[in-house]
Amino acid sequence: MWIFNHYATYQYKNGAGRHYWFAENLKKMGYDVTIFCANTHHNSNEFVEIRNGKFETDLLNDIPFVFVKTTSAIGNGLDRIKNMFLFYKNLFSVAKSYIKLKNKPDLILASSVHPLTMVAGIQLARKLNIPCICEVRDLWPEAIFSYGKLKESSFLGKALIKGEHWIYKNSDAMIFTKEGDTDYIKERKWDIEQHGEIDLNKCFYINNGLDLKAFEESIDLNQLEDEDLSSNSFNVVYVGAIRPVNNVGKLLDTAKLLKSRSDIKFLIYGNGNELESIRHRVENEGLDNVKVKGHVDRKYIPYILSKSSVNILNYSQKQYNWSRGNSSNKLFEYMASGKPIVSTVKMGYSPLQQYNCGIELENGSPEELKGAILTIKDLSSKEYNELGLNAKNGSRNFDFQVHTNKLNNVIKGLIGE
């Protein structure tokens, strides 16, 4: 089995991530899995050196990685487009060369984010006369339309939608990471029931998640010296990117409303292009109840979350369609920490509601967020611990051993036992 993921270079670097965990668990089932990814890291000058030709190979914990030659991609401009196209183009010659070394696969799983990876997967599978599973981890081009970067009615917008339809039609199976993503197919009237060409019976849901055992072990193995985490304060924790879409400024607005509560502290961990402006606000507005920690190594995140009192999923209400669910890795790490969660958006297909492990806000205003934080703080010990236990138990359904069993069932439906 081959897995195509342009950005799995990070998974090679970290020894963790969706397709690394799939490969790890599939190997235990007897599969021979190879991951194909770019030799470059997005938004970084780091790369895997290719000495000859168009690819390089390496093993990580007995999982083969094939690094396809691309160019560096800093930002989201022309360099990134060139990077995507080169990965797509070079996959064909790399696949041909790799088959000479290792024989052809029985199956390809081609994963977005960008759709060219899935196009390459379908085209190569046809040449090799094998099935291709396409995995949609973000609905392109809808996400581009949502951010206002492109109009759906434009020539390019229409072309991208046409290409998306082609992928859905020609894949042998589809995996979506949000439970409600098949609603999108129905909204487009692409499903067979509405006289379209997409059979919803070939569409499956496997969300993102985590290696729960590794997460739990990391809490003990990778402890961070941080006096704020060890204090007796009620710690309101945010971990993640600090950029406009995450609207971290809302946490500062909420902290301002709670300045008189010396027993409540806001701890913000992460990096991004708004980090310095957030720090300036904290200093200029005298927000002594906020500590902006900045970048933290991922290995410390399980420990940080385990020391929180409540974890905040802080999103923009308007820049994303939350009605189809949430596939944020952070959500499942928050659940695994066994602490209550507050989400500033109301999600469709919501794990917070399904597992009764937190509060979702209708409008996500600072006043509403303040109220939710105080609601959780004022719970009895029994009620508080029950929310945390619900979160922990719910996270077990998003462990990658569970996810890999689901993937195995999809594969068996295509190629048999």
Domain positions in the chain = 2-209+399-415, 212-398
Stronger pLDDT, 32 or 142, i.e. the higher one: 32
Is the model's pLDDT at 75 over the cut of 80? no
Task: Select the highest-mean-pLDDT range: 13-17, 49-53, 172-176.
Answer: 172-176
CA distance 138 to 326: 10
pLDDT of res. 246: 86
Task: Over range 3-31, report the average pLDDT.
Answer: 96
Domains 2-209+399-415 and 212-398 share a fold: yes
Is the model's pLDDT at 201 over the cut of 90? yes
212-398 carries CATH number 3.30.450.80:
no
pLDDT of res. 332: 97
Digit-coded pLDDT (tens) for 299-324: 999 999 999 999 999 987 776 789 99
Q: What percent of the chain is modeled with pLDDT above 70?
A: 100
Q: Strands of 358-360's sheet, edge to edge?
A: 290-294, 264-269, 234-239, 310-313, 341-343, 358-360
pLDDT of res. 79: 87
pLDDT of res. 325: 94
Task: Over range 115-133, report the average pLDDT.
Answer: 97
Digit-coded pLDDT (tens) for 252-289: 999 999 999 999 999 999 999 999 999 999 999 999 99
Task: Over range 372-393, report the average pLDDT.
Answer: 98
What residue type is 49 in one-letter code? E
pLDDT of res. 113: 84
Least confidently predicted of 68-72, 143-147, 269-273, 277-281: 143-147
Summary mean pLDDT of the chain: 94
Digit-coded pLDDT (tens) for 332-360: 999 999 999 999 999 999 999 999 999 99
Q: Which CATH number applies to 2-209+399-415? A: 3.40.50.2000
